Structure 1
Amino acid sequence: MATASDCLTTALLNVNGLTRNFDGIKILLIEKKIDVLVLSHIGLVTEDDIQIEGFDVLWKYFEDTAEKDQPDHGVAVYIKKSLDWRRKASYECSDLEVIWVNLRFPKKKDIFLGCCCRKEPTTEDYLNDICETMERVSGSIRFRNIFFMGDFNVDWLIDSDDKTQLQQKATEYGFTQIVSESTNERNPGTCKDHIYTSAPGNCQIPDVDFSDHKLLYVTVSLTDAPGDDPGDGMATPTSAVHKDQLTIGFWNVNSLRNNIEEVRQLTEREKIDVMALCGTRLDSQTTENINIVGFHPPERKDREEPGGGVAIYVKENLTYTRFREDNNPNIEIIWVELSLPEKKPVLVGCCFRVKDKPLEYLEEICNIIRELSTEKDKDIFLVGTFNINWFATFTREIKNKERLETAARTSGLRQIVSETSIEGNPGSCMDHIYTNVPADRHTIRSSVQRLKAHKCLYVTFTSADQPNLPEEDETSTAIANLNIRES
């Protein structure tokens, strides 16, 4: 639930250790009536030690980079529980202590707020990554008021190459740095705490008694939304996209870690709304950044042994839920259900069938497909590498194909891939797309990624209107009411 006020109070403080100054933070939130508090240099914390009633808290701290002379880096954000917010991890570089959240308000512009802690010394690449972060979020300035705040460890009151770089990039991307006086009591004349914003606003700078840094205090006026968001990839799931066509991509990626950049380029170039992947080869120990800007973090089903795995990315401006969670723990398959305003729901599944699995494994997949007969009120797409050649000539493969085909027919589905799915291997179609969407509502195409690799398949379809519910029979209703009264 969004706040009923027409303004939002945000504040930034270099806390110099959250745990030791925790009582001061609690008092500060109450006395200053702060809605969102950003803290830099929080130090090592534990979840139980930093909870404050009435607030949600997020934090980011790279323990392995802590140094004896600078143990108190890291960032945290306190957000009032009454606010409608979501974390935007896909905009957070894995190498930066940066957090991004999106705050939503009815009929008002969203506020997109980022916090940063840049400890000294750092490489030139670190500052470049900060500038790149500004560039990535700048595309939605028209639809969101953006604030990027924190300790950047660049003194704004003296000329330097780092200041020039930040100033030029901020101006280029539509931001203004609004802190223009000293922010450090111990080192007067220095200003390393910055607030970059796309929205007009004044910054008040009162002292606090538990940190040598001053509090940066900004009251943000909530402005009216300018109209329909064109879907730039930053809308939250509660803002359902209004569009008649969607594009689903599928690729057997053969290691997402190794090919994440290629996947990112594909989703942008082909204007994909939902990207399904097989052969992700991820596990619970995966630490690499596999997020894609403009998409929710992926829904995944990993295999703890080498190989396999499936994932689905959904664009951030689409509303979806995970479907049939853990109904089939033994099968590498995941489902998401998209909700489109005044349109049929769209069910997207991604499946990977290991080639040498016994027949029982294939039968389980066939049972899953048969169960889709209860979902005929939805547009359904099941994509994946089934390792059954649709152009089969051998008896065993023909029988396996017939098993899949019969199961699909039971649910009103048909397989629509009719070309070689591995470049350089003619006569082989192991990647399938099963759908109940009529041919006059979809088109299918493919692209070659590299020789001997799976092609990427794309299906673009027109979403169907949600059928009207049958009107209740007035006579039946009257009789039912009469029976109630008589009883």
Structure 2
Amino acid sequence: MSAVDILSDKSISICNINIRSIRNKINFLQNFVDEFDIIVLTETHLDNSIENRDIELDSFDKNPQRKDRTNSGGGLLIYSKEDIGICRKHELENDIDETIWVEVHAKGHSFLLCNTYRPEWTDSEYWARLNHAIGLAYQVNENIVISGDLNSDLMSLNNNKLIDMMRLFNFKNVIEKPTRVTNHSRTLLDPIIVSDTINYVFSDVFKLPDNISDHDASVVILQCSKNISRSFKREIWQYQKLITKSLKKN
């Protein structure tokens, strides 16, 4: 069964790609992602010399959410279909990390979506800042999806920070296959992580041509449903206070 077979008016599909420069790949994206509702891209390699009209995709909103680097590399982007409501949540972002937070409204459902890129050289406090943002996010919407390229292999046992974060918030990674395969390694670097209030009906990894990316695309289809109340919401808010104090000290 393919992702297209499951798509319905009661589902929202998300495709997560490390694109390794979007500039010459618009035609590929137009054909590859047309069936999806939301496209999450990392390593766009864009700057303010590239206007939104230069990277338009048919049937997607003409003003995608972007966070460009001022120097080479990196960069984030979120495309959404024209019938999906997107509200940027700048208050959940910071000036250090490459992260975009948006609230998605579609098909009678809403959730927060975080697109984040963590380069391998990122400082060790990245995880504390992400936990801080998640704690704040819970006060906005308890339905949360986190995707992007975390450069932290979930197929390895040596990922204490990411695994600790998922355990703390009762999150689950829905991608079970490697997203980057070489002659020497198979790593899961591009997860899609969801809160326990999120229902999903499909997840998989789609192979991309080598000239598009050295990562494969990770995909999830969410089933729209009513919100579920969290029993440990109070504990998360208490943890949030501790994180805030720790960040202020540093």
Match for residue 273 of structure 1?
A: 37
Query: How high is the TM-score relative to the length of structure 1?
Result: 0.42
CA distance in 2, matches of 1:428, 1:414: 17
Report the residue type matching 1:445 in the other structure. Answer: D
| CA 300–385 in structure 1, closer or farther in 2 if over 3 Å, else same | same
Residues 35-184 of structure 1 mapped to structure 2, 5 A cutoff: none
Deviation at 1:302, TM superposition (A): 0.5
Residues 305-320 of structure 1 mapped to structure 2, 5 A cutoff: 305-320=71-86
Deviation at 1:299, TM superposition (A): 0.5
Match for residue 455 of structure 1?
A: 216
Structure 1 runs not aligned, ≥5 long: 1-241, 469-487
CA distance in 2, matches of 1:347, 1:458: 17
Deviation at 1:461, TM superposition (A): 1.4
Among 437, 441, 448, the residue aligned to 2:200: 441
CA distance in 2, matches of 1:412, 1:373: 12
Deviations 1:294-339 (A, max 9, x none): 1112100011111001000010011221123473121111122122
CA contact (8 A) 2:171 2:194 kept: yes
| CA 331–440 in structure 1, closer or farther in 2 if over 3 Å, else same | closer
Among 270, 294, 316, the residue aligned to 2:59: 294
CA distance in 2, matches of 1:310, 1:361: 17
What SS does the aligned partner of 1:359 have?
A: coil
Report the residue type matching 1:418 in the other structure. Answer: E
Query: How high is the TM-score relative to the length of structure 2?
Result: 0.78
Tell me if 1:383 matches 2:147.
Answer: yes
CA contact (8 A) 1:310 1:351 kept: yes
Match for residue 18 of structure 2?
A: 252
Residues 289-368 of structure 1 mapped to structure 2, 5 A cutoff: 289-296=54-61, 297-325=63-91, 327-340=93-106, 343-368=108-133
CA distance in 2, matches of 1:437, 1:262: 34
Moved more, 406-415 or 348-357: 406-415
| CA 358–390 in structure 1, closer or farther in 2 if over 3 Å, else same | same
What SS does the aligned partner of 2:29 have?
A: helix
CA distance in 2, matches of 1:373, 1:326: 11
CA contact (8 A) 2:201 2:223 kept: yes
Tell me if 1:465 matches 2:230.
Answer: no
Number of residue-to-residue matches in the alignment = 217
| CA 344–410 in structure 1, closer or farther in 2 if over 3 Å, else same | farther
Residues 470-485 of structure 1 mapped to structure 2, 5 A cutoff: none
CA distance in 1, matches of 2:119, 2:148: 11
Match for residue 168 of structure 2?
A: 410
Report the residue type matching 2:98 in the other structure. Answer: E
Q: Which of structures 1 and 2 has the bigger CA Rg?
A: 1
Bigger relative contact order (CA 8 A; separation at least 6):
2
CA contact (8 A) 1:376 1:411 kept: no
Report the residue type matching 1:298 in the other structure. Answer: P
Deviation at 1:277, TM superposition (A): 0.1
Deviations 1:271-300 (A, max 9, x none): 100000000000112247101111112100
Report the residue type matching 1:257 in the other structure. Answer: R
| CA 283–440 in structure 1, closer or farther in 2 if over 3 Å, else same | closer
- Aligned-residue sequence identity (percent) comes to 22
Match for residue 430 of structure 1?
A: 189
| CA 375–409 in structure 1, closer or farther in 2 if over 3 Å, else same | farther
Deviation at 1:423, TM superposition (A): 3.4
| CA 437–267 in structure 1, closer or farther in 2 if over 3 Å, else same | farther
Match for residue 247 of structure 2?
A: none
Match for residue 49 of structure 1?
A: none
Deviation at 1:248, TM superposition (A): 0.5
